[in-house]
């Protein structure tokens, strides 16, 4: 495959992806299959860095994989696998940790944010070295492009630094990955607090739409989303963050432009707008839920797909790691 290689991963840290994950990340993974040679990973090694329950992790790993298949990741053309099934990730992370400065790792702001929120289990050494494991994830696949939002920019910068450092110390080994910028319009905010991003740690369950929740519930959440009092469907992130968020969701799910939606709802208030958007959400979620359920109802098939994915992943990561081992002197 001569197309550029893309790598991305998602943590199995919830029982469902939410609409922000879908529109901001996963849907773009699906689209990139048209133009890139794609490697996608459910990063369960990353998911144990802040404390976890084994049975919950096992379930969430499978549900995450099933959802990725359900939204359109094609395991015939992309490599889809579970990180812990490919031991090269942990091996690569060790090598990279030995060329990472302690001060350099300490500057990663996500660790500071996450560890300051929790107790001892929230500040494990694994959480501290998380960006180094992430660098291994990326570098093991000779990755050309990594889709990144603002929150992951610093981690990709570290991956690039480590690749360059390894190459200059030990000889050309790793491809230096470039960011594939995901546009701002993909940022989805909380339905009840449109100044905060939609997140699984949302303060209100009504602020977040889960891909796998009852679509009737999603419709209700859209209809009761926080907007403003001037009843004009217009895109203005500063003055109208709630309506702007609904417009972004509507545009992304329907394929219509925001300008076209503004025209359609001119002079009609928020009632029709929300009702129609609620219908669009239900239309998109229902088939995703059906396909996810089909994968979860056939555990043997899901296992087979993931085992084949892990095998394909190792066929790439194994030789890259062997190259690094050789350069290191192993
Ligand atoms: P959460 O913020 O809910 O914990 P994660 O950090 O696990 O979600 O994010 C998984 C992926 O989804 C990342 O690529 C992240 O950038 C993307 N993502 C998460 N929340 C949003 C959002 N509200 N809007 C757009 N993209 C998002
Ligand atoms: Na996040």
pLDDT of residue 119: 63
Confidence of residue 116 (pLDDT cuts 50, 70, 90): confident
Q: How far is the CA of 324 from the centre of ligand 2 (A)?
A: 31
Look up residue 76 and give its DSSP letter.
Answer: T
Nearest ligand, measured from the Cα of 202: 1
208 lines ligand 1 (CB under 6 A): no
126, 46 Cβ separation under 8 angstroms: no
Q: How far is the CA of 197 from the centre of ligand 1 (A)?
A: 8
Q: How far is the CA of 51 from the centre of ligand 1 (A)?
A: 19
As a whole number of angstroms, the distance between CA 136 and CA 146 comes to 13
162, 195 Cβ separation under 8 angstroms: no
What Cα–Cα distance (Å) separates residue 184 from each residue in 62, 151, 188, 259?
A: 30, 12, 9, 17
19 lines ligand 1 (CB under 6 A): no
Which strands sit side by side in the sheet containing 145-148, from one edge to the other? 79-82, 37-42, 5-10, 145-148, 178-181
The pLDDT tens digits for 26-66 are: 999 999 999 999 999 999 999 999 889 999 999 999 999 99
The pLDDT tens digits for 81-103 are: 999 999 999 999 999 999 999 99
Percent of the chain surpassing pLDDT 90: 87
Residue-wise over 40-77: b if at least 16 C-beta within 10 A, else e? Answer: bbbbbbbbbbbeeeeeebeebbbbbbbbbbbbebebee
Residue found under tokens 């360059």: 164
Query: Is the pLDDT at 149 greater than 80, yes or no?
Result: no
pLDDT of residue 186: 75
pLDDT of residue 141: 98
Mutate to test the pocket of ligand 1, among 9, 10, 18, 21 (most ligand atoms within 8 A of CB): 21
pLDDT of residue 155: 87
Nearest ligand, measured from the Cα of 194: 1
Q: Which two tokens stand for residue 268?
A: 């009609």
The mean pLDDT of the chain is 94
Question: For the range 104-112, what are the long-range contacts, defined as Cβ-Cβ under 8 Å and sequence gap of 24 or more?
Answer: 104/158, 104/161, 105/129, 105/131, 105/132, 108/154, 108/155, 108/158, 109/154, 110/151, 110/154, 110/155
| Section 278-290 average pLDDT | 98
The pLDDT tens digits for 122-144 are: 678 999 999 999 999 999 999 99
Please tell me the residue having the least CA distance from ligand 1 atom 18. Answer: 21
Look up residue 11 and give its DSSP letter.
Answer: -
Atom of ligand 1 nearest to the CA of 11: 7
- Minimal CA–CA distance to 224: which of 192, 194, 267, 202? 192
């Amino acid at each position: 495959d001569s197309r550029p290689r893309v790598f991305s991963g998602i943590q199995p840290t919830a029982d469902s992806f939410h609409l922000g994950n879908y529109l901001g990340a996963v849907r773009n993974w699906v689209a990139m299959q048209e133009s890139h040679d794609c490697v996608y990973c459910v990063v369960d090694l990353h998911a144990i860095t802040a404390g976890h329950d084994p049975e919950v992790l096992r379930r969430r790993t499978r549900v995450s994989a099933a959802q990725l298949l359900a939204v359109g990741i094609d395991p015939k053309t992309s490599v889809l696998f579970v990180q812990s099934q490919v031991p090269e990730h942990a091996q690569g992370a060790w090598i990279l940790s030995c060329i990472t400065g302690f001060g350099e790792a300490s500057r990663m702001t996500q660790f500071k944010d996450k560890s300051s929120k929790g107790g001892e289990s929230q500040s494990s050494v694994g959480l501290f070295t998380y960006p180094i494991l992430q660098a291994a994830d990326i570098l093991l696949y000779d990755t050309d492009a990594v889709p990144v939002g603002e929150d992951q920019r610093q981690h990709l910068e570290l991956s690039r630094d480590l690749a360059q450092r390894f190459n200059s110390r030990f000889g050309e080994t790793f491809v230096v990955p470039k960011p594939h910028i995901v546009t701002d319009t993909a940022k989805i905010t909380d339905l009840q607090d449109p100044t905060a991003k939609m997140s699984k740690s949302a303060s209100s369950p009504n602020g977040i739409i889960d891909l796998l929740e009852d679509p009737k519930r999603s419709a209700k959440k859209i209809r009761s989303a926080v907007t403003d009092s001037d009843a004009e469907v217009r895109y203005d992130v500063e003055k109208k963050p709630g309506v702007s968020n609904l417009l972004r969701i509507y545009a992304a799910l329907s394929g219509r432009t925001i300008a076209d939606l503004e025209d359609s709802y001119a002079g009609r208030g928020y009632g029709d707008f929300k009702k129609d958007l609620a219908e669009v959400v239900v239309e998109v979620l229902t088939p995703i839920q059906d396909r996810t359920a089909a994968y979860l109802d056939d555990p043997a098939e899901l296992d087979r797909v993931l085992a084949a994915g892990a095998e394909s992943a190792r066929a790439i990561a194994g030789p890259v790691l062997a190259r690094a081992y050789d350069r290191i002197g192993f």
